[in-house]
Chain A
Amino acid sequence: MSPVENALLAEISFDEDARDAFVALSRDCNPVHVDPIAARRLTTGTPIVHGIHQVLAALEAHFAAGPRAAAPVAKLRVSFEKPLPVGTTAGVVRSRADDRGFVLDVRSGVEVTARIAAAYGACGSSSDAAPEGRVFSPPTPLVWSEAELAELSGEIPLSRDLEAVKAAYPAASDAIGTTRVAGLLAATFLVGMVAPGLHSLFRGLSLTATGDAGPDARLAFRTALYDPRFRLLRLAVAGGGWTGTIDAHLRREPVVQPSMEAVSRLVDRDEFSGLRALVVGGSRGLGEVIAKILASGGAEVTITHAKGSADAARVRSEIVARGGHCDVAPFDLRSGPAGLDHILTTSRHQVYFMATPAIASADAGHDPVVLGRYLESYVEGFAFVVERLAQTAENRLDVFYPSTVYVEDPPRGFVDYAMAKAAGEVLCAALRNDPRFGNVVIERLPRLASDQTAGLVSESFPDPVPLLLNAVRKTSIGRRGL
């Protein structure tokens, strides 16, 4: 076979329908893939495509495009490089294909999200593992302690409906065998539903093909290594025509938000009484903390939410239970200025602009599309929100704008994020010269602990309450005791 480099084999829409079909086939319904609210609290910020979905789609595109190799696939290595949001169309690029094997990249724009390397050769003899005892087939993802994960073993049943597997991936099934495709499907179920389970992040696999498996084959697994420094679980697996290892991280559970009780201890009772404040994006993250600070000090708070109505209701009930005042209003920045109509029936003294799209590191440095997404929120959305509120504000409108320390020293991967925040700061400077506005406060915040900062490895972020309390006080200078 002659070498082929960077050939685009297919463009694949990983939309919700495709995701749902993959879930039906694999039974991997981890929230990171299917639950947009839960996914907001994860490192990804939005539901992501199953890694194995990308792998099988890429293999299908490769084998369908041909030519057929003289030797079977003997080894398969996969590395999941970046999360791919559900709803993305990604390209399958064959970056190498020769007599030794092939390398496929799944790419979204310039980012590689998954890399698949296959080597040709003779398959080994059948080495399906001896039964490992407990069979796992949970309907919802399991949760384990680190100590439990370090000692885990068991078996995953392969799909009994091999016809459905073959119908979904006909070319890949012909090339590597339907059972091995089912084995890969079992791998995503293993990681997403069993081990690490609920708090998993699939990193990659390294498999060697063995003799084909029987019709009721299972994927046996046991923990080969758990490294607590990196929360990395390496599973030794065998079955479904494969033997090898699977790597997955145990994600940290989302940070628990500061309670009203904890916030109230730091806020002077009545220090914000008489204020009517709108917290855009107050149903989660730092916006939730600001809403609790204001309410603890006696302000009448309205929080908005774009998606998380359940989150907003939770925040409201927590504030109300402590004797605070909190209203909830749905509002999506993407609905434009008209989306504020139902909120502007009451005049307000202050607005805290805490709305944000998912913030993710981008390997590409500057990407105009990513910058545009941030600008849409941090500049355009911010501009029309403050403009419309100023029209109905009681006296002058105070504005709080959360910027970032990244403006001063943008780390790799956050250039567009920092640029958009810097542009928002310029807009704030203009507001200071507008007599309709009162205090316009910009805080360049570091990363703070919230339910939106789900780091993977050991990272500790400062408590957000003291810093945000100071910001609310600055925004309220001259307003106290209203």
Chain B
Amino acid sequence: MIPEETIHDALAEIFADVFLRDDIPISNELSARDVKGWDSFKQIEIIMATEERFAVKLTSAELDGLRNLGDLVRIVAERGRI
């Protein structure tokens, strides 16, 4: 299991890179409703960058089931590699 804190740190970098801003507070509750500009395109960028960073690939069912960042964090924690 990858520690949640490690994933959060990586996601902070990914979000800064994707949104070109570094003031987005990363939490498991964070969702597209909370971040201006988080549309389906940004979602793809976030997922692909996370997959690359943790050497994991989400299935279509997992992609469809993502409701907030916590859902992504749990999948990465269980199946990701550092």
25 contacts between A and B (CB under 8 A): A77-B20, A79-B18, A81-B37, A81-B41, A103-B20, A112-B37, A115-B20, A117-B20, A203-B41, A227-B48, A229-B60, A229-B63, A230-B44, A232-B48, A361-B39, A363-B36, A363-B37, A363-B39, A412-B32, A412-B33, A413-B39, A456-B41, A457-B40, A457-B44, A458-B60
A229 to B40, CA, bound (A): 13
A24 and B44 CA atoms in complex are apart in Å by 33
Min CB distance B46 to A, Å, is 11
Other A-B pairs beyond A361-B39, A363-B36, 17, CB < 8 Å: A79-B20, A81-B41, A103-B20, A112-B37, A117-B20, A203-B41, A227-B48, A230-B44, A230-B48, A232-B48, A363-B37, A412-B33, A456-B40, A456-B41, A457-B40, A457-B44, A458-B60
Total interface residues in chain B, CB < 8 Å: 13
Classify chain A: how many residues form its interface, as a range. Answer: 10 to 19
Residue of B nearest to A103 (CB): B20
Q: For the complex, what is the distance from the CA of A421 to the CA of B36, rounded to whole Å?
A: 25
Q: Looking at A79, A115, A117, A456, which has the most chain B CB atoms within 10 Å of its CB?
A: A79
Contact with A along B33-59 (1 / 0, CB 8 A): 100110111001000100000000000
Q: Which residues of B contact A103 (CB under 8 A)?
A: 20
CA A409 – CA B63 in complex, angstroms?
23
B33 partner residues in chain A, CB cutoff 8 A: 412
A residues 450-469 touching B (CB-CB < 8 Å) = 456-458
Q: Which residue of B lies closest to A206 (CB)?
A: B17
Of all chain A residues, which has the CB nearest B33?
Answer: A412
Interface residues, chain B, CB within 8 Å of chain A? 18, 20, 32-33, 36-37, 39-41, 44, 48, 60, 63
- Chain B residues lying within 8 Å of A456, measured Cβ to Cβ, are 40-41
Chain A residues, Cβ within 8 Å of B60: 229, 458
Minimum Cβ distance to chain A for residue B75 (Å) = 14
A residues in contact with B36, CB < 8 Å: 363
Nearest-CB distance from B61 to chain A (Å)?
11
CB contact list, A76-106 vs B, under 8 A: 77, 79, 81, 103
Chain B residues, CB < 8 A from A203: 41
Residue of A nearest to B59 (CB): A229
A227→B58 CA distance, assembly (Å): 12
Determine the distance from Cα of A457 to Cα of B39 in the docked complex, in whole angstroms. Answer: 12
**Chain B residues with CB below 8 A from A363, complex form:** 36-37, 39
**A79→B39 CA distance, assembly (Å):** 13
Bound Cα distance from A430 to B33, whole angstroms: 36
Closest Cβ of chain A: how far from B17's Cβ, in Å? Answer: 9
Q: In the bound complex, what is the Cα–Cα distance between A458 and B61 (angstroms)?
A: 12
A223 to chain B, nearest CB (A): 15
In the assembled complex, the Cα of A458 lies from the Cα of B36 at a distance in Å of 23
Q: Which residues of B contact A81 (CB under 8 A)?
A: 37, 41
**Binary interface profile of A, 66-84, with partner B (CB < 8 Å = 1, else 0)?**
0000000000010101000
- The CA-CA distance from A229 to B44 in the complex, in Å, is 9
Chain A residue nearest to B41 (CB atoms) is A203
- 7 closest residue pairs by CB, A with B: A230-B44, A117-B20, A115-B20, A363-B37, A103-B20, A81-B37, A203-B41
A269 to B71, CA, bound (A): 52
**A361 nearest CB neighbor, chain B only:** B39
Complex CA gap A457/B63 in Å reads 12
A129: min CB distance to chain B, Å: 23
Which of A103, A230, A232, A363 has most B Cβ within 10 Å?
Answer: A230
Contacts of A229 in B (CB 8 A): 60, 63
Q: How far is the CA of A77 from the CA of B33 in the complex (A)?
A: 25
Q: Could you say which residues of chain A place their CB within 8 Å of the CB of B63? A: 229
**A residues less than 8 Å from B48 (CB atoms):** 227, 230, 232
